[in-house]
Chain A
Amino acid sequence: MLKLIKYELLRRKTLLIVVLSVLFAMEALTAFGIYKGVGWLGLSITLISIMCIGVPIFVFFDSLSTYYSDLKNKHGYMLFLTPNNGFKIIGSKLIIGVIEAIIFTSLVVFFMYINFEITHAMYLSEVNDFTIGFSRVISELKEQFPYSFWQVALVSIISFLLSWFSTILMAILSITISKTILSNNRHNWVVSIGVFIGISFLLQVISMLVMTPFGFYNDIFTFGVQSNFEAYNPMLASQINNLLWKSLLVGTGLNLIYMAAFYFVSGTLLNKRIDL
């Protein structure tokens, strides 16, 4: 699979250089906006938001577009003529997606750290207020919650990434179906979108059914009855935190199962029924 990854990286070399250049240019503008202050801060906040949202969207579309292109265009012959099975081919594309996600997410986090340091240096008093407020929230959470902030942050990021890659694999399965068992269908891409929407709906139903025995919906209903938003209730806040933690863990487990299922079905279809 390493060799497949090597050629996937070579194929994206120019694109990755362009994306990195765009990210650095956006960061330079962001830093400039923070330096200028007042009206320019809006631009900085917008650019940071675009970077945060843009990275997962880029990974999603890049993973899918190269896969779709290999199944749709003649250059896919080069790949599918090699003695590599479908699992390796899909696996290599996913690993590239993971590498992209790690590199770009780390870069954006690094940029945010730099921006925070610049802001700290230039607007010290405001940041101190913010830092104090932030520390207070963290310490209150610590008192009510048995897990550390970093544990929660890590599980949240992993959960988000798994959910994102589960969506990517679901889309890969839809595309695979359109080029295998539905390859003779003239409107296979429409059916492919239909399959994607259908599986998404099915997963929502399965997730709800799985969450119910864990008491998730019962807990929400109970909180709805108990909650009094005008008064802070530490007991209730702690319960909500635990509920979120439970939901994150169950969601992560479910996403792992979905990913394994999508990967297995897509790989098997590529091995047995491909029609380029």
Chain B
Amino acid sequence: MSILQVQNLSKAFGNKYAVRNVNLALTAGKIYGLVGPNGSGKSTLMKMIAGLFYPNSGSIMIMNQKLNIESKEHVSYMSTEPYFYNYMSIKTVGDFHADFYKDFDMNEYIRLIQFMELDMSMKVNNLSSGMAAKLKIAANLSRKTKLYMLDEPLNGIDLVARKKIISAIIEKSNDDNIMMISSHLIEEMEKILDEVIFIKNGDVVLLGECEKIREEHKKSIADLYLEVYANA
């Protein structure tokens, strides 16, 4: 089942293209890795799919429906930047999601908050960057939606917590949804990815199943990453 279709999608800031003529057709049941160095266009692409950026050209279809307000119900996007209101507590963040997303599971949220060793009474503005990252993961993975987009989910996270986050992602992935994960930490993410999308200067330069790519290029995704972006 095709969940996300992107056709000739472009976005420019001034005269510079952040994303250029990107075409994607992502099917359910897979974990996709969106990889590339800083400024390659990963976040811009995700933000357009999430409806936070307006594309200059091209189209986005989610569940065979043109991107609109209603299609946001099928998308769970976690930005790399902290984006929860400072006045909120962890409990209020959960209440907010429960109020606006029909697919939000409060029991799952409580479980994930405990799993991440956070406390419901903690205030967002008192959280460390690692705690804030864990909260973003917990809030997004507590939804039962079709398309999850996690932008740099391991940023600012210590080694122990990284394992917890990776296991939470695996646990959440199923035959009905898509996980799209962007990360610089290719070595850690490689083992859970089904397919990978290499993006360079706004262009998709390589796309395919991880296994096939490894066989074809006779090297790991992490090594290929170093090769592709050596001069980026």
List the interface of chain A (C-beta within 8 A of B): 3, 6-7, 10-11, 13-14, 74-78, 80-85, 180, 183-184, 186, 271-276
What would be 13 A-B contacts, judged by CB atoms less than 8 Å apart? Answer: A6-B99, A10-B87, A75-B85, A77-B77, A78-B96, A80-B52, A81-B50, A83-B70, A83-B72, A83-B73, A84-B69, A180-B54, A274-B52
Whether the Cβ atoms of A75 and B86 lie closer than 8 Å is yes
Whether the Cβ atoms of A276 and B87 lie closer than 8 Å is no
- Shortest Cβ distance from residue B7 to the other chain A in the assembled complex, whole angstroms: 18
- Shortest Cβ distance from residue A96 to the other chain B in the assembled complex, whole angstroms: 14
**A74 and B96 in contact (CB under 8 A), knowing A83-B70, A274-B52?**
no
Roughly how many angstroms separate A83 CA and B82 CA in the complex, as a whole number?
20
Whether the Cβ atoms of B52 and A276 lie closer than 8 Å is yes
Chain B residue nearest in CB terms to A270:
B69
Interface membership of chain B positions 41-55, coded 1 if the CB is closer than 8 angstroms to chain A and 0 otherwise: 000000100111110
Interface residues in B203-224 (C-beta closer than 8 Å to A): none
Roughly how many angstroms separate A186 CA and B83 CA in the complex, as a whole number?
23
Q: Is B101 an interface residue (CB 8 A)?
A: yes
Whether the Cβ atoms of A77 and B85 lie closer than 8 Å is no
Instruction: List residues of chain B with CB within 8 A of the CB of A83.
Output: 69-70, 72-73, 100-101
Interface residues in B21-74 (C-beta closer than 8 Å to A): 47, 50-54, 68-70, 72-73
How many B residues touch A, CB cutoff 8 Å? 30
- Shortest Cβ distance from residue A74 to the other chain B in the assembled complex, whole angstroms: 4
Whether the Cβ atoms of A74 and B85 lie closer than 8 Å is no
Instruction: List residues of chain A with CB within 8 A of the CB of B81.
Output: 74, 77
Q: Is B155 an interface residue (CB 8 A)?
A: no
**A78 and B77 in contact (CB under 8 A), knowing A84-B100, A274-B51, A276-B53?**
no
Instruction: List residues of chain B with CB within 8 A of the CB of A274.
Output: 51-54
Whether the Cβ atoms of B77 and A81 lie closer than 8 Å is yes
Roughly how many angstroms separate A183 CA and B72 CA in the complex, as a whole number?
22
Q: Please indicate which of the listed interface residues A13, A81, A183 has the most CB atoms of chain B within 10 Å of its own CB.
A: A81
Chain A residue nearest in CB terms to B92:
A10
- Shortest Cβ distance from residue B176 to the other chain A in the assembled complex, whole angstroms: 19
Instruction: List residues of chain B with CB within 8 A of the CB of A75.
Output: 83-86
**A78 and B83 in contact (CB under 8 A), knowing A83-B70, A276-B47?**
yes
Contacts A81-B52, A273-B54 aside, 4 further interface pairs with beta carbons under 8 A come to A6-B99, A7-B85, A13-B87, A74-B83
Whether the Cβ atoms of B79 and A82 lie closer than 8 Å is no
Whether the Cβ atoms of A80 and B100 lie closer than 8 Å is no
Whether the Cβ atoms of B83 and A184 lie closer than 8 Å is no
**A184 and B14 in contact (CB under 8 A), knowing A74-B82, A81-B77, A82-B100?**
yes
- Shortest Cβ distance from residue A158 to the other chain B in the assembled complex, whole angstroms: 33
Whether the Cβ atoms of B86 and A275 lie closer than 8 Å is no
Q: Please indicate which of the listed interface residues A13, A74, A183 has the most CB atoms of chain B within 10 Å of its own CB.
A: A74
Instruction: List residues of chain A with CB within 8 A of the CB of B86.
Output: 75
